[in-house]
Amino acid sequence: MHGKLVRFLRSSVAAPLTALAAVGCAARDASPWPEPSALGREIPAVRPAGEAFQAAERPPAVEEPVGHLTLRRALALALARNPALSAASWAVRAADGVAVQEGLVPNPEVRVTVDDLGGTGELEGTRFSEQTVRLSQVIELGDKAGKRRRTARLEAALCGWDYEAIRLDVLTETTKAFVAVLAAQKRLAAAEEMCEQAAFVLSLVTRRVQGGAGSDLEVDEAKIELGTSRVDLEQAKQALDAARGVLASRWDEQAPRFREAAGNLEDAPLAEIPPWERVLARIEGNPDVRRWETEVQVRRAALDREKAASVPDVRVLVGGRREEETGDYGYLFALEMSLPVFDRNQGGIREARANCTQAGYDHRAAVLLTVAALREAYKGLAGSHKEAALLRGEVLPAARRAVAASRRGLDGGALTDLQLLKAHRALFKARIRQIDALEVFHVSVADVERLIGQPVGTLSASGPRDSPSGRSAPVETSGEP
């Protein structure tokens, strides 16, 4: 009996299962990764390998230097090691797997029964048993699998846009952190110089008062200035340590290894600010805006999917029965289908249509928010550019001339050493203000570039300065690749 049953199963089940397996094979979806923006495109970023179970593809090994750190090296480190970017890359791969799964048709089902087996009396044993094999398959109408796959594929593409947005965020935040380190280094150098000058003037005042040419009040004033300078110096050291730590955290390091950030804040990457209209015209380069074309497609695909869901599926049943006593065979064929009398997926279709309409307003809202942020960043860019130029062209030269004149007056006896110290303090304040303006300028450049997805220097009439980082950033002074 067992041999006959095995042969019956082979003839009744094997061939239909093979045919259904061929139907269930789904084609691979297109790549969910969008075309990257121009900003930092040439710098490799972390991305998963072809299959989720494989190790992540990392860019060529990037090690943090122990000496000078250039901007390009900092960006390469961040794009290779940033955990948020790595997580976003795996989200794309996971969504790609969902798209593959959604395109598969339901599995066939098989049922094997043996009736009148092992009873009593005449039904004892297997003489009067009946063996039945049933094979069923749900046939989805309305191209449900294809529409599910298309929706999931587009949703994976949205994850790709999220990855691109995070990539630009990593570039921008790393650049801003690098600029903060450069500015902190400049403030520390200015504070050290001011502290040295205050100590020097205090020694002059002390000798003069000890010689009977002054009062103790002048010594106290010089000591107050020296104490203030030491406080400024300590604050500058702490600010530099904090900025270095923030920069190292961009590539998931607890403590920085580099000794110094190599760059020049004073060498501005833009000889002139591009017009607002030219900058605004590049707003479509922002992945937060570009993604909405895909988002609209997702909403429309979801509507098609909901419409297809209103079409009832057909279940096909085929089977056979064998009577052990007579050795006769009988076959079964049936079709099952639900009647769409009450549930025609009306609510799902209505929801999908509303989401399609909502997508247009969401797109517009996203553009308005981006334009508002771009306007604010452009305002900071233009204002800091003018401020830095004014400080560099007028205020700083005047402050240096005042220091030189104070030195000549001190040598000639027309001025006191405290007046020289005041001139140095005025120069120190002017230098700090220029550093602040330059930092705001470079931060604003980074924000504008994030919002348009390309270097600002490519929009200016004079063209961009050479920048190995691929963006309008502080010119690097190190020959490090």
Is residue 320's pLDDT more than 50? yes
CB-count exposure of residue 352 (10 Å: 0-12, 13-18, 19+): buried
Ordered structural domains, the chain, with CATH: 31-105+140-310+345-459 (1.20.1600.10)
pLDDT-based confidence at 59, cuts 50/70/90?
low
Out of 18-32, 81-95, 195-209, 210-224, least confident range: 18-32
CB-count exposure of residue 73 (10 Å: 0-12, 13-18, 19+): buried
User: What average pLDDT does range 266-293 have in this prediction?
Assistant: 85
67: tokens are: 């000496």
Distance CA 10, CA 16 (A): 10
Distance CA 250, CA 72 (A): 13
Nearest residue to 97 (alpha-carbon basis) of 51, 58, 143: 51
What is the spatial order of strands in the sheet that 109-115 belongs to? 109-115, 130-139, 314-323, 329-337
pLDDT at 418: 87
Contacts of 180 (CB under 8 A, 6+ apart): 243, 246, 247, 439
Nearest residue to 12 (alpha-carbon basis) of 140, 139, 136, 138: 136
User: What average pLDDT does range 212-225 have in this prediction?
Assistant: 86
pLDDT-based confidence at 216, cuts 50/70/90?
confident
pLDDT-based confidence at 477, cuts 50/70/90?
very low
Report the C-alpha dihedral over residues 211, 217, 223, 224, rounded to 10 degrees: -160
| pTM, 2 dp | 0.82
22: tokens are: 């061929």
pLDDT at 479: 37
pLDDT-based confidence at 210, cuts 50/70/90?
confident
CB-count exposure of residue 92 (10 Å: 0-12, 13-18, 19+): buried
Report the C-alpha dihedral over residues 224, 230, 231, 235, rounded to 10 degrees: 160
SS3 of residue 57 by DSSP: strand
pLDDT at 116: 65
Residue 240, phi then psi, degrees to nearest 5: -65, -40
Is residue 438's pLDDT more than 80? yes
pLDDT in tens, 168-179: 999 999 999 999
400: tokens are: 């240096």
Contacts of 20 (CB under 8 A, 6+ apart): 108, 137
CB-count exposure of residue 357 (10 Å: 0-12, 13-18, 19+): exposed
Distance CA 108, CA 135 (A): 7
Beta strand 109-115 pairing with 68-69: unpaired
Q: What is the CA radius of gyration of the chain?
A: 37
Nearest residue to 468 (alpha-carbon basis) of 458, 478, 460: 478
Residues comprising the chain, all counted = 481
Element (H, E) at 110: strand 109-115
